Amino acid sequence: MLSSSITAAETFVPLSGALERVGARVEVTAERDRAMECDGLVVPGVGAFAACMRGIEDVGGASIIERRLAGGRAVLGICVGMQVLFSSGVEHGETTAGLDQWPGVVERLHAPVLPHMGWDTLEVGEGSVLFRGVENERFYFVHSYGVQSWEWSAQISSVQRPPLVSWGDYGGRFMAAVENGPLVATQFHPEKSGEAGSVLLRNWVQAL
């Protein structure tokens, strides 16, 4: 067993179990000190962008995430927990500010049938650590919104490396995962993605 301690706020039993199966010790907490001290912080989320942001704000989550990343400490966002890491989300005509760790707007997917629910392969970014060993596998999605355009190149200086992006396609391309130093995120649910999801979570835990 690995000695890594993972803190997950507002999480679910399947995610906790999936992390434990790959060697993590999991604690569910909204306590600032515990969230700061853990080796890896998981930010899951379901439902609406605005509701997820309210939950994060209620526990001072924005400053916790900001301070962890400033110190190079790992954060993993999953599903809506990935979406809130972008600049904003637009749902039902209302715009909600996100955590603004990455530029981008979360918007409704351009697909005739929503939500996007089921298994899909990805266009994995070259050199991915998160997807090592499962680059060609399928992962499980349940979502109607996503970031469909990448604005990073216009935002950074020539000395900064852009994040590594993996793409999905459902009525058009959308960002399925991002790897950016200590901050990584997936639009899909690794805890519902069978053995491929387990490998991905193990890759993250072992990198802590």
What is the C-alpha to C-alpha distance for residues 71 and 65, in angstroms, rounded to an integer? 10
Matching residue, tokens 């707007």: 105
143 is annotated as an active-site residue: no
Q: Which is the catalytic residue, given 52, 79, 116, 179?
A: 79
151 is annotated as an active-site residue: no
DSSP secondary structure letters along 48-106: -HHHHHHHHHHTTHHHHHHHHHHTT-EEEEETHHHHTTEEEEEETTEEEE---SEEEEE
**3-state SS assignment for residue 28:** coil
What is the C-alpha to C-alpha distance for residues 171 and 200, in angstroms, rounded to an integer? 25
Q: Which is the catalytic residue, given 38, 107, 137, 189?
A: 189
79 is annotated as an active-site residue: yes
Q: Which is the catalytic residue, given 107, 137, 179, 191?
A: 191
With beta carbons less than 8 A apart as the criterion, state whether 164 and 180 touch. Answer: yes
Catalytically active residues, by annotation: 79, 189, 191
